[in-house]
Structure 1
Amino acid sequence: MALFSRRKKTPDSTDTSAGRGPDESDAATPSDAPSPEPPASVGISTSTFRGVGASAAGPPVPAPTVPAPPAPVAEAETIPGVRDNVLLRDALAELSDPPTPQGLLNVARQLLQGPLFLRVKGNARALLAEGRGLPLAVTRRGDKQLVLAYSSGAALQAAVSADGEADTSAVGQPVLTVLRLVLDGEYEGLILDNSSGTARALLPRPLLQRVVDDAHAALALKSLLAGVRTEDTPAAVAAALGEAPLWIAVRRTEEGGPVGIAESRTADGDRFIEVFSHPLEVLALGRGDQPLPVTLDQLHAAVTADAGITGLLIDPGGPWLRLHRDHVTGPA
């Protein structure tokens, strides 16, 4: 029997105390999303794969609903010349009013799927060419400073229309670069798309810290899942599994009961172990599961030990990809 052992401690909670913006009367303060300490180890057997918390004698637990893969993005540019962070833009557009903790976690996970845009006073390209740092646009919430960033050309355009400061320019930056700038400074968080009505969010510093701490430095897996799919994508994703941190979703359904590991099943009975590229991917599903770190070697051992496992389902919240067992174990 293979063993999934914990690589590092998972924080006890994720702070999603966020709102629409610093000067809005409908600012939300949702409760923290729970993230209790996961079990130190989880035994892998046929019974634990029958469903989250299922026992060998119990009936299979229905698989969670899995969204379809994303279609090619036809409207990746809401203004000509600026390619949007489409997944983040759409996650912001789906926020309720006021935003829920689950909606904010969904925004936080989609934050990692592409670049962010910054507004700069003057010519951003000239500043970069001169080797000068980019001054971050900030706003205040009480005595706290928050950095402004944008998901799309439309959000940038809305900000210019709102403040009338036309002598600014926009520059796209890798998301982790922006988040580290926020965390390295004395800022309390990040406001996304501040002038876009209800499609805006405030992500507090503790949540941003967790996003960065658990993210793969190269975001290789995230980039492949969010990118254009080709016949080579499954092999590229399988290769990325060896270098990126990975998690599975676990849950104990009753005190003292068995710990189950989440899997998805198709209508034809195919079974896929759910694997996640970031702990927030697990929490954002809102199923009550907890993330547990896992290595590719452990996944290899689990799939090899159970011939009934069809493969892996990477990031069930989407964009997702199914990998056949041969991508994990190699050809028979």
Structure 2
Amino acid sequence: MALFSRRKNDSSDLTPAAEAVSEGTAAPAGEEVPTAADTDVAPVSEVPAADVPQVNISMTSFGGLGSAPTPAPPATLRPEKPEEVVLPLAPSDPPTNLETISGLRDNGVLRDALAALGETPTGAELLGVTRQLMQGHVYLRVRGDARAQIEAGEALQLGIVSDGDRQFMLAYSSGRSLRDAFQKDNDANTSAFAQPAHAVINNVLKGNLAGLIIDNESAPARAVIPVDVLTRAMSHVEEDMKLKTILCEPRTEDTKQKVLDALRDARLWVAVGVASEKDGEKQYGIAEAHTRDGRRLLQLFTHPLEVVALQRTEQPMPFGFDKLKSAFLEHGNLAGVVIDPAGPSIRLTRDELATVLAEA
């Protein structure tokens, strides 16, 4: 049966609806758009939570998050050997097709990460979904009119699915996944609204839930993120993941300037690993990338998951803006940085960084 859980606005991180599915939404020819009364939770008997792919990330592969690697001499920059990485990496540029249903903005990178899942997703594929959940918005479904309930300050009956004694919150990455949900259950007394992904995750963590199910009715493009993974991931994020969100938005003429402005206050990470070993002593280094013409780029990351996603031996280590400035002062042949190499990514040259580093 379909379940809804009543959650009070004043005890959650949910903000006023940023975007609601409404009666006036226009639809492409031949497509039916869910309206404010057209969304609900799929019956558990039809889509059991236990059948949804689980994020299978061991604590050892997630280990090292937020902590420095084994104590070692100060890390130095080291060249990175070119290697082929067989992973579900995102393209360098973010998607530009952000409406699978006219009038509803998708979380493009999250939608595409889910679409890349196979019938039996790998841990790396599901990790890709988790890291793309760290930015942007998702849609929630509510019993009744979500907009009216929010404006009236009433408690929200959010979509929850049960698996035995475990409960999972339901979220949706796109207009298409909302349409899939409506077509699955066809309950006319529900609505949907958009919320920042970090606010939804915080509600899961505060609500004694077992995790978050994304796009439950869009198999195989669906996934479950267990609460322990969400807890670890959220312990290392800024409140709004501003820098990563900018990277995941369609590129404009001022994208690089937005990135530069966000760098000042962003939580940054680098990938640290063994650069060399002699007489039993290990020398640690910070991962670089080399362009085809030999330029050196420091690899920066917006979250430890971005390091883990590359599935290399390095461990994530915090790297404050002051350390970034020191790196460029001490290494005159650094040509720039590449942020989030697993994608969407962006490159900034030394010249482009000069002004913001001088102001630090």
Q: TM-score range by the shorter chain?
A: 0.7 to 0.9
**1:152 match:** 174
What percent of counterpart residues are identical? 41
| Contact 2:140–2:158 under 8 Å retained in 1 | yes
**2:207 match:** 185
Aligned residues: 300
Deviations 1:130-168 (A, max 9, x none): 012322211112210110110011111111111221321
How far residue 217 of structure 1 moved from its aligned partner, in angstroms, is 1.1
Counterpart of 2:74 (choices 28, 43, 51) is 43
| Contact 1:303–1:329 under 8 Å retained in 2 | no
How far residue 234 of structure 1 moved from its aligned partner, in angstroms, is 1.9
Q: What letter matches 1:230 in structure 2?
A: T
How far residue 258 of structure 1 moved from its aligned partner, in angstroms, is 2.1
| Contact 1:300–1:328 under 8 Å retained in 2 | no
Q: Which runs of 5+ in 1 are unaligned?
A: 1-20, 52-60
Q: Secondary structure at the match of 1:197?
A: coil
| Contact 2:54–2:226 under 8 Å retained in 1 | no
How far residue 71 of structure 1 moved from its aligned partner, in angstroms, is 5.7
Counterpart of 1:127 (choices 129, 140, 149) is 149
Q: Which runs of 5+ in 2 are unaligned?
A: 1-46
| Contact 2:50–2:163 under 8 Å retained in 1 | no
How far residue 117 of structure 1 moved from its aligned partner, in angstroms, is 0.1
How far residue 210 of structure 1 moved from its aligned partner, in angstroms, is 2.0
How far residue 203 of structure 1 moved from its aligned partner, in angstroms, is 0.2
**1:5 match:** none
Judged with a 3 Å threshold, the aligned counterparts in structure 2 of structure 1 residues 106 and 144 are, in CA distance, closer, same or farther, namely: same
**1:11 match:** none
Judged with a 3 Å threshold, the aligned counterparts in structure 2 of structure 1 residues 284 and 243 are, in CA distance, closer, same or farther, namely: same
Find out whether 1:241 has 2:263 as its counterpart.
yes
Counterpart of 2:120 (choices 98, 105, 108) is 98
Alignment of 1:130-279 (within 5 A): 130-252=152-274, 256-279=281-304
How far residue 178 of structure 1 moved from its aligned partner, in angstroms, is 0.7
Judged with a 3 Å threshold, the aligned counterparts in structure 2 of structure 1 residues 232 and 248 are, in CA distance, closer, same or farther, namely: same
How far residue 195 of structure 1 moved from its aligned partner, in angstroms, is 0.6
Q: Secondary structure at the match of 2:156?
A: coil
How far residue 241 of structure 1 moved from its aligned partner, in angstroms, is 1.3
How far residue 257 of structure 1 moved from its aligned partner, in angstroms, is 2.6
| Contact 1:247–1:279 under 8 Å retained in 2 | yes
Counterpart of 1:311 (choices 317, 321, 336) is 336
Deviates further, 111-120 or 256-265: 256-265
How far residue 232 of structure 1 moved from its aligned partner, in angstroms, is 2.6
Q: Secondary structure at the match of 1:170?
A: strand
How far residue 63 of structure 1 moved from its aligned partner, in angstroms, is 6.2
**1:283 match:** 308
Deviates further, 320-329 or 212-221: 320-329
Runs of 4+ residues over 6 Å off in structure 1: 63-67
How far residue 29 of structure 1 moved from its aligned partner, in angstroms, is 6.8
Q: Secondary structure at the match of 1:202?
A: strand
**1:18 match:** none
Q: What letter matches 1:307 in structure 2?
A: G
Q: What letter matches 2:334 in structure 1?
A: I
